[in-house]
Amino acid sequence: MRDRYANLARTRVMDPEQDYLTIYQTMLRYEFPWDMKLGLNLAFNRSFSVPAIAALHTATGELTERTQKRIDDTGLLMYEMVLNGFDQPRGRDALRRINQIHRPYDIGNDDYRYVLGCLVVIPTRWLEKYGWRRPCCHERQATYLFYRELGRRMGITDIPGSYPEFETWFDAHDAAHLKPNDDAAAIERATRMLLLTRLPRVLAPLGNALVSAMYDAPLRRATRVEPPAWPVRAGLHLGLKMRARLQRWFGTPRTTALFADGIKAKSYPEGYEISQLGPRQDHAREPAGLADQ
């Protein structure tokens, strides 16, 4: 049991202001790999669902017509930044490519902030509810600081000054702007395969209902997803809670980091060049997101 909290003990003696990248890497690669990846998928599902953002994405067809490549490209770019930070060559190249992809579009600062808010708040709330332990204050702060730095380097302004402030801003913006719309529904139908791949094979017959149960009521309304039956919602909740307890009681610290052998993607079985990730040159470019790897 003592070893189970070894990473947390190391995190608690770090300074999030200086060590936010190391702390965030530890969360993703050692402490909560499955939960963090799922939480990030849910975060981008939500960011795609605000009408203005959803309309921009569906206009290009990158998410609805070239879904797998879009998933792979954007996941690779985001994870390259997490694994390498913003100052190492590969992280710097990934950030440069993301900025290139965004540059042709007139995207409002609030829309950028909302996407950042999704990445900060949604995975953290998932961990607070279903992680094998709750994230500590250092981990919440490191998450906020990582995405604040990403936002700063993307030219996003007026980012709230702390995790609690960002959470408050996010909730208000989400309540005002996450509305039902056909574009969000089309994107959700195209991308729900991401969450279906997270489920154990034995649960495949209930896959669609379980994915719908992972969404909260506002996201289901925005994407026009019917609420699953209450036994499915209750069963998912209880199953995730039991998984967390089993991990807490019987789990051991992960010794091999997530992505230790590189970031794999279905679209690039022979590897990839960061500069070539993103929409094809003969298609309009669109903002990057994050999906499954």
**Overall average pLDDT of the 113-138 stretch:** 98
> What pLDDT, on a 0 to 100 scale, did the predictor assign at position 290?
43
Tell me the Cα Rg of the chain: 18
Between CA 91 and CA 79 the distance in angstroms is 9
Exposed / middle / buried, residue 155 (Cβ in 10 Å: 0-12, 13-18, 19+): exposed
Q: Is the pLDDT of residue 222 over 90?
A: yes
Q: Is the pLDDT of residue 55 over 70?
A: yes
> What pLDDT, on a 0 to 100 scale, did the predictor assign at position 182?
97
Alpha carbons within 13 A on the beta-carbon side of 111: 18
Give percent above pLDDT 70 in the chain: 95
Q: Which amino acid is at 181?
A: N
Task: Please list, in sequence order, all residues whose beta carbon lies within 8 angstroms of the beta carbon of residue 28, skipping any fewer than 6 positions away.
Answer: 36, 37, 82, 258
Please tell me what DSSP assigns to residue 14. S
On whether the CB atoms of residues 103 and 287 are closer than 8 A, the answer is no
**Overall average pLDDT of the 131-142 stretch:** 98
| Residues 162-175 pLDDT 10s | 999 999 999 999 99
Question: Of 222, 221, 213, 180, which is closest to residue 195 (Cα–Cα)?
Answer: 213
pTM recorded for the entire structure? 0.92
Confidence of residue 1 (pLDDT cuts 50, 70, 90): low
For 274, the token pair is 């960061």
On whether the CB atoms of residues 68 and 267 are closer than 8 A, the answer is yes
Question: Of 114, 122, 113, 112, which is closest to residue 36 (Cα–Cα)?
Answer: 122
| Residues 224-282 pLDDT 10s | 999 999 999 999 999 999 999 999 999 998 999 999 999 999 889 999 999 989 886 54
Confidence of residue 287 (pLDDT cuts 50, 70, 90): very low
Q: Is the pLDDT of residue 286 over 70?
A: no
Q: Is the pLDDT of residue 39 over 90?
A: yes
Burial state string for 66-80 with b = 16 or more CB within 10 A and e = fewer than 16: bbebbbbbbbbbbbb
Between CA 97 and CA 285 the distance in angstroms is 12
| Residues 73-125 pLDDT 10s | 888 999 999 999 999 999 999 999 999 998 888 899 999 999 999 999 999 99
> What pLDDT, on a 0 to 100 scale, did the predictor assign at position 221?
97
Between CA 131 and CA 30 the distance in angstroms is 13
Between CA 184 and CA 214 the distance in angstroms is 16
